[in-house]
Amino acid sequence: MAFVRYYVGDVVKMKKAHPCGSDEWEVRRIGVDFSIVCNGCGHQVMIARPKFEKAVKKLVSRLPENMDTTANKE
């Protein structure tokens, strides 16, 4: 399985839906734990990295400044 790098501002689709009905979340903080916010109701959750990576179904959108990771490396 390929390694996926997540950035603050990414919107991800989770395997299971939140009780409000939305399954899309915005990443607010990354590290050992992730802070994510539901795009449906605004509920904020802290989740451990392994649990987050297992629960993510796909990356929905990414901010334009995070699209090219090779720029600004020099």
pLDDT for 24 equals 95
Greater confidence (73 vs 36) lies with: 36
Q: What is the pTM of this model?
A: 0.79
Question: For residue 69, what pLDDT band results from cuts at 50, 70 and 90?
Answer: low
Euclidean distance between CA atoms 61 and 72, whole angstroms: 21
Closest CA to 18 of 54, 45, 50: 45
Domain extents in the chain: 11-65
Which pLDDT tens digit goes with each residue over 40-50?
999 999 999 99
Whether pLDDT at 68 is above 90: no
Q: Give the whole-number percent of the chain exceeding pLDDT 90.
A: 73
Closest CA to 25 of 11, 41, 9, 42: 11
